[in-house]
Structure 1
Amino acid sequence: MPLRRCLHQLIVIAGVALLAACATTKEGVLPDTSGDVKPDVVWRTSLGEGPGVTYTRLKAAVNDGTIYAADTGGTVTALELATGDRLWSVDLEQPILGGVSFSQDQLFVSLREGTLVALAAEDGSEQWRSMLPSEAVAQAAADNKRVFIQTVDGRVTALEREDGEQAWSYEAGMPVLSVRGTGTPLITDRLVITGYATGKLVALDKVLGIPRWDVRLGVPDGRSELERLVDVDGSPVMDGRLIYAAAYHGKVAAISEMGEVVWQEEGSTYTSPELALGSVYLTLDDDSIQSYDMMSGARAWQQTALKGRGLSQVTAMGTYLAVADEEGYVHFLSQVDGGLEGRILLRPRPLHINYPHQSEATNWRLSRGRDFGIRSNMVDTEEGLLVYTNAGDLALIELR
């Protein structure tokens, strides 16, 4: 990666981290919940080296009762979903950035040095490694024939899933300054759809890798380069024939497969939209959570009580929404009105220190150099909510 671009990314990351730190609420001050939801930890295990204070957001993949997860140190592990028991583990000998994706008995894992690795889901045996143009910080996506992955230099690359040979590569122009992040491409019958740091959502021909249409979700506006950031960092999602996507300093929009904008509303975010019960849910960049009607874009409700807590992407779980924060809490909201229904604190038990007459959060004082928050996207499964903490713990949560 060019030195200038690398420096720009470091500046953006530092700036965003500083803004988040300034906005963080005082630890221990939490809004009340109704208490209608009682979260329980079914099981909990350490995967090894967690994301910590780095930007990395590792996401696990789940299929047919098995979890496939990775730690940043380079280990991929398969676990039984119901019990957390380990089935197998392999060391790829390089730091892992983009988490694990599953497709048709294959796993795909991106490494820090710009490599995509294919593993057999049955036992973790390595099938091939392929060099990428740069590093990838999001999961790959795949269809029957190919694997598609976006790297931080603005390229989308298609690889043959049989042997990892490159089929095509598409590069979009990058702005001078961007947030270091990308989303997982959305794969349809004909298209590979992904967002760029230019503020555009681009649809590429799945066979040829050439653009078919693009939609602008954000327009650079402001005096400074930071104010002009319009990255589409989250992954686009699809329901029926409509595609939903959102940009930082931009819009959230519903778009047809032909590239026609059905509706668009204000919705600045770093994350992906979540679809459930006829609504689009979005964690905004000020840590409020907004609900939109899926068909019209009309705003239904907004939850602002968690502002400043460094929220993760919102995840639908039954009739609730789950969202995690940088202190290690997972909050549960009603999908109907956004009301806070319950929460649970996930921090490493061996480091528990009791201070008399202090709040639960204060009793978990952060150790130097440790990050006990939750940044990775959570996964709703048939057994409960799968949560991966920055400290490297994987936990399954059920609701009572």
Structure 2
Amino acid sequence: MMARLETRSWRSARRLAVAAMALVLVACASGPDKPQPAELSPNAALISVRLAWSARVSPVRYPLDVDVSGATVTVAGSDGSVAAFDSGSGAEQWRASVGADIGGGVGSDGRYTAVVTRTNELVVLERGRELWREKLGALSFTAPLVAGERVFAMTADRVVSAYDARSGRRLWSYARQGDFPLALRQSSVMLPVGDTLVVGISGRLVGINPLTGSLRWESPIATARGTNDVERLVDLVGRVSRDGNVVCARAFQAAIGCVDTTRGNLLWSRPAAGANGIHGDGEMIFGTESDGKVIAWRRSNGEPAWTSDRLRYRGLTAPLAIGRSVAVGDATGLVHFLSRQDGSLLTRMSTDGSPIVAAPVLAGNTLVVVTQNGGVFGFRPD
């Protein structure tokens, strides 16, 4: 079984490289004219936000997921450094190095912290002290999930595995047969909902029994279409919006949709051309499209509520719904706070001038963003 997985992983890795080259060629052939970022209007400063604290890790050049567990924010730099900070004060709780560049992370439950290195090792720390590491069968760009004394990892060949958090013993692996061979170099979907592990596999949300690894249900948000492998990529990407048992997610450059995870029923799906995850609340879902439009959809049926063109071509992150605003980072290190009602600007804050590389997160009453240069910034309303 392991030999078959390794062969499949090697073939997947080769196809990933071909796809990456194809994407480069497409970009080079698209012409010299690059759309100019939208000019920013004067800062309205309609709400009062201040920088509460800042910290630093090494530069980040991989698909980082910032982990929030209670009052602890955990981040990791590309060089293998992992650090945990108190979300209230920014004080460093611990810092460690896993000794290799990181490809996917961070996942934590406050006690155990997990990352995946670019040498395909799943590394688990306990409050900064390494407990164990395990070789995976392929690359991984998705942050591990730590929950219920278990660590769950998903590799680029779409194999999901569970490990005992304390000992590192592998408990089970799940692989969907006959799946699409290519995968994105982006973080996918993996979260617990009740007693089900919900993961993104190609364009589907899949429900897995976390105790046994058996399949419970699967629900397609998008179906692969196109004339070549690159065009047919519809992997689920980035963060999701969860409200109770309903999880809404984005399929890369294809669609957004919502699934009732009780039985895996697709509630609705509609076309959307974005590459980052989404966020929302009980009424609305917010997302950024590839051209920088920010869109709000009604959670009940997916109908658009508003669209904002104010930040087009500014290299936006996935958004964060926070109170009456929607926060989104851009490629110049700015954090924009938009009105959840109509997308109008409420205020904006600056960081260190390098791109915001991960979706903003909320830890207590502090909004935390991380930049490509390794800056960690905590913002708080006055």
Tell me the TM-score normalised to structure 2 length: 0.88
Q: State the identity as a percent.
A: 25
Q: Which residue of 1 aligns with 2:298?
A: 293
Q: Contact (CA 8 Å) 2:239, 2:318: kept in 1 or not?
A: no
Structure 1 residue 176, shift from structure 2 partner: 4.6
Give distance in 2, aligned partners of 1:398 and 1:293.
Answer: 28
Please report the RMSD computed on the Cα atoms of aligned residues, expressed in angstroms. Answer: 2.5
- Which of 372, 379, 382 aligns to 1:390? It is 372
1:259 equivalent in structure 2: 264
Name which of structure 1's ranges 97-106 and 315-324 shifts more when overlaid on structure 2: 97-106
- What is residue 6 of structure 2 aligned with on the other side? none
Please say if residues 101 and 108 of structure 1, whose CA atoms lie closer than 8 Å, have aligned partners that are also in contact.
Answer: yes
**Structure 1 contact 233–271 (Cα < 8 Å) conserved:** yes
**1:364 matched residue in structure 2:** none
Q: Does 1:86 align with 2:86?
A: no
Q: Which residue of 2 aligns with 1:11?
A: 21
User: What does 1:234-313 align with in structure 2 at a 5 Å threshold?
Assistant: 234-257=238-261, 258-276=263-281, 278-313=283-318
Q: Tell me the number of residue pairs that the alignment of Structure 1 and Structure 2 aligns.
A: 369
Q: Match for residue 63 of structure 1? A: 69
Measured after TM superposition, the shift of residue 214 of structure 1 is: 1.8
Segments of structure 1 that go 5 or more residues without pairing to the other structure are 349-371
Q: Residue 46 of structure 2: which of 26, 36, 49 is its match?
A: 36
* One-letter code aligned to 1:65: A
For structure 2, which runs of at least 5 residues remain unmatched after alignment? 1-9
Structure 1's 223 and 180: CA in aligned 2 closer, same or farther, altered over 3 A?
A: same
In the TM superposition, residue 315 of structure 1 has moved relative to its aligned partner by 0.9
The answer to whether the 8 Å contact 1:386/1:396 transfers is: yes
1:7 counterpart SS class: helix
Query: How many Å separate the matches in 1 of 2:366 and 2:109?
Result: 21
Aligned partner letter, 1:175:
F
Q: 1:314 to 1:336 in 2, by over 3 A?
A: same
Equivalent AA in structure 2 for residue 25 of structure 1: Q
Cα displacement string for residues 341-373 of structure 1 (whole angstroms, at most 9, x for unaligned residues): 12122226xxxxxxxxxxxxxxxxxxxxxxx21
The answer to which of 232-241 and 69-78 deviates more is 232-241
Question: Matched residues in 2 for 1:211 and 1:248: separation?
Answer: 23
Q: Which digits, 9 at most, give the CA deviation of each residue in 1:211-269, with x for residues without a partner? A: 22222222233334433322212344431121212212322112112111222222233
Letter in 2 for 1:59: D
Displacement, 1:139?
A: 1.4
2:29 matches 1:25 = no
Among 148, 163, 172, the alignment partner of 2:152 is: 148
Residue in structure 2 matching 1:333, options 306, 323, 338: 338
Using the TM superposition, give the Cα deviation of residue 92 of structure 1 relative to its aligned residue in structure 2, in angstroms: 1.3
User: TM-score of the superposition, structure 1-length normalised?
Assistant: 0.84
Tell me the equivalent position of 2:218: 214
Distance in 2 (CA, whole Å) between partners of 1:111 and 1:20 is 36
Say whether the 8 Å CA contact 2:259–2:267 is kept in structure 1: yes
Do the aligned partners of 2:193 and 2:245 also contact (CA within 8 Å) in 1? no
Segments of 4+ in structure 1 off by > 4 A? 15-24
| 1:105-148 deviation digits (Å, cap 9, x = unpaired) | 21112211111122112xx1112212222222221113324221
The change in CA–CA distance for 1:222 and 1:281 in structure 2 (over 3 A counts) is same
**How many angstroms does 1:185 deviate by?**
1.0
Read off the aligned partner of 2:114 and give its amino acid letter. F
Structure 2 residue 377 is the aligned partner of structure 1 residue 380: no
